[in-house]
Amino acid sequence: MTGHSALPQPGAAPFTERTPRVVAARKLTRRAEREKTGRFLAEGANAVEAALAHDGKVYELFVTERAAAQHERLLATAHESGVPVSPITDRAADGLSETVTPQGIVAVCALVDRPQETVLKPGAKLVVVLVDVADPGNAGTVIRVADAAGADAVVLAGDSVDPHNGKCVRAAAGSLFHPAITRIRDVDAALKSCSAAGLRTFGAHGYADTELDQVTFDQPVAWVFGNEAHGLPQNVLDAVDLAVKIPMYGRAESLNLATAAAICVYTNAMAPNRAR
């Protein structure tokens, strides 16, 4: 860095695991505390870089000495954005991380989810809806897929995992800050909101009559994916405009959620380009 240091003055003692600000941040690993404060932790260089570029709020950046040396550009960006950068010990970093090998750089951010009426509105071309998805790694991977495919939004419906869960944030690899994200407890309301926004609802279902390669993508679509173990419940399959299955050419009986979502969403996203 040139002309300034994003870190406090040289010689300043790093925060420890007992420092009140670190203690407060550590509580954000719990969903109840995230909901209470409206904040969550984004760990790792990819997530921190995306958070700093996002138009949301980054309240503070914690960084170990080793991570500071590795990510000087990110620290400079934080400094230029007016984000406080606080040095922490390795042990404090361990407490803020939910991984075996912490990266040593963690941002305290405002929650990214938005009200459904600002997300599901006319003009959206591609939306991904997750219904009762329980595994945060799967949810984060699907959010990353949706981002890569250019989806406008991701809806976490029903009893789906909190997108601010640490494992979900890491699996999304920075993509949590790109597509609009909303949470809707009522699945039926989520589907109706998609329809009201002019989206056709396609439910991914392994026993559907219609195969993916038979579908024409000539209208905006909301892809609906279900729980990892049970798929979409019958009432949701009855409510969507079309149930679609991925054809299986080998001996595997099924695909995992993230893989199925990637195939469906990317097939949809590439269709307009193939038609050119």
pLDDT, residue 11, reads 56
The Cα–Cα gap between 34 and 22 comes to 15
pLDDT, residue 272, reads 77
User: 255 near 215, Cβ under 8 Å?
Assistant: no
The H or E element spanning position 244 is strand 242-245
User: 221 near 194, Cβ under 8 Å?
Assistant: no
% of the chain residues with pLDDT over 90:
89
How confident is residue 2, by pLDDT bands cut at 50, 70 and 90? very low
| Torsion of the alpha carbons at 195, 38, 61 and 98, rounded to the nearest 10 | -80
Q: Between residues 69 and 100, which one has the greater pLDDT? A: 69
- Flag whether pLDDT at 4 surpasses 80: no
Least confident of 31-35, 49-53, 142-146, 270-274: 270-274
pLDDT, residue 110, reads 97
Q: Among candidates 275, 203, 272, which has minimal Cα distance to 243?
A: 203
pLDDT, residue 109, reads 97
pTM: 0.92
Tens digit of each residue's pLDDT (9 = 90 or more) over 14-72? 999 999 999 999 999 999 999 999 999 999 999 999 999 987 799 999 999 999 999 99
Tens digit of each residue's pLDDT (9 = 90 or more) over 67-94? 999 999 999 999 999 999 999 999 999 9
User: 21 near 86, Cβ under 8 Å?
Assistant: yes
pLDDT, residue 100, reads 86
For residue 63, list its beta bridge partners: 87, 105
Mean pLDDT over the full length of the chain: 93
pLDDT, residue 9, reads 52
